[in-house]
Amino acid sequence: MAVLSYDKTDEYFYRDSRKELFGGATNLELTPRELVLTDSLLQQSVAAWNRYQRQHGYTGPLLNSKGYKRQLIAVIDTAGEKRVWINGFCGADGSGWKKRIIQVWDGGICYFNVKLNLSRKTWEELDVNNE
Domain count, the chain: 1
Domain membership of residue 88 as a residue range: 2-128
DSSP string across 20-83 = HHHTT-EE-PPPHHHHHHHHHHHHHHHHHHHHHHHHTT--SPPP-GGGSEEEEEEEE-TTS-EE
pLDDT of residue 10: 67
pTM: 0.86
pLDDT of residue 103: 74
Find, among 80, 73, 72, 71, the residue nearest to 24 by Cα: 80
What are the Cα distances from residue 126, in Å, to 7, 65, 114?
Answer: 22, 12, 4
pLDDT of residue 18: 56
pLDDT of residue 5: 87
Return averaged pLDDT per consecutive 10 residues of the chain, 131 residues in all. Answer: 82 59 84 97 94 89 84 94 93 81 70 94 85 53
pLDDT of residue 21: 62
